[in-house]
A and B are shown apart, each in its own frame.
Chain A
Amino acid sequence: MTEIANRPAELPVDTAAPQQTMRRRRQVPRWVITVGSIAFFLLAWEFFGRGVNPVFGSYPSAIAVAFWDISSSGQLWTAFGESLRPFVFGYSLAIIVGVPLGLVIGRFWFVESAIGILVTAGYAMPLVALVPLLILWLGLGFGVKVAVILLMAIFPIVINTWLGVRAVPKALIEVGRSFVASDATILRRIVLPATLPYIMAGIRLAVGRAVVGMVIAEFFTSISGLGAIIINSANNFDTATMFVPILLLMVLAIGLNDLIGWIERKVAPWQAEIAGRDRE
């Protein structure tokens, strides 16, 4: 018995393959590759960007100077605060409303029949076209920004949660039923944790949409926030300054994405055990 079990390990084909993958993985740390890729991109941008008319384009060192100007004057950080507050508010609201909504749509067929179609339609809604209307209702300030961010962010969260609930193995629900758990208990103790990876994916997708929503709202109102800096410097042909908030928002989105990934590993550590993380 043991002899048979040992035999495959002695074959050269079997021993070579796993060693190779081990070696390749340990050669270079991931962050080195990422940093290298960013450095290459910035250098290439700097090299080619310098040849372009500063109205039509810009390049990293000019953007860095512009960053220094509006950041030391405080203009950037005031605008960042004006953008961040409605962002946090609208995005949190999207999670607080979106997750329970997705759970009940996925779990109860009558809720699905009643409002599932509205969610699907809402996801495809050309929100940009509706912003002027929202401004008429809510004014030019905090309220309209929250509304646009909420409307942009909520749909991926609801839809992902909804699909996640549909994907919960029937057998796990039956475990709950066999121990006479109520519908509410099954939803909270089985469906919600089983859906968490989907929910976190929806929350991640919503980051990008929320950032876009924030900028759209500020374009239309154009009196406060990072969006206002973008549109005002674009109108003044100050392209380098225009790129400062754009890059800041991208960095913010990356940071949020990593933060959510970290939270996901904290709240759903079992997911890494189930899902294959083995990649080439």
Chain B
Amino acid sequence: MQDKINQRTDYRAPFLLRRLQEDPRSQGMALISPTFFYLIVFMILPLVLVVILSLLTRGPYGNVVYRLNLQNYSRLMDSLYLRILWYSLEVAALTSVFTILIGYPLAYYIARAPRNQRSLLLFLILVPFWTNFIIRIYAWIMILRTQGLLNTLLLNLGIIKIPLEMLYTPTAVLIGMVYEFLPFMVLPLYTSLEKIENAQMEAAADLGARPWQVFLRVTFPLSIPGMIAGSILVFIPAMGMFVVPDLMGGAKTILVGNLIRNQFLTARDWPFGSAASMLLLVLTLVVTLLYTRKAGFGEELLV
């Protein structure tokens, strides 16, 4: 048996090698194959398993019963879970809106700065983004805590008499999320603003448009692709986020991400957690498609 296999590989090797040297198509396939197989095994296959798992049921001891049904999905339609889902959508949408409000003027400022300063200004936006995101959350916990910086400051100034409860509120979650994802918005916005030709703005001005009209009718519409790309880059991670609610939201704020995590690690209902994951995945894909249908997948998404 062993001899046979050896013979066969001996026989085929020179042929394969020859093909690899002469045929560019085989060369391309040889180069892509490690990535292809790696991602099939460690990304696609796991996802397929989750799809299958979502169609099974949890047994009485946290085990999995192999019987196909849609029970988990109908359970997700319970008002309790729908409310969590809606709340997650709300938080993700609000995060996108606030990052636009804060990030737009900033991106505009950088796009208008002297050419040699632009990369430094962008670099400065990115530096905190390279530090660990839990550290960034911690910085805000330190500020918002009951014995935190903000309360200490306000008490010392005599503005308040008793410390405010700022941490462990929905607002705290939003503050954390916005701070976390701001760079994702500023970068694509900058890219699209930077590309706008000066001639277009000058033409509008020559034709009698006032500066604010130039902005509203020329600059703003041309920056929409960047805004869409930024919104996707903020929305997707915000939808699945469970760390910020965990650390800043207290027990009341549960997002889909927390729901999924809990099903897998505390409730041990993997099939139900899988169904919730599929719902999250489909939702983010739908939102992404809706966003991109108007703009098309721009290169802004890939900065």
Q: A and B: real partners?
A: no
Q: Write the residues of chain A forming the contact surface with B, with a CB cutoff of 8 angstroms.
A: none
Q: Write the residues of chain B forming the contact surface with A, with a CB cutoff of 8 angstroms.
A: none
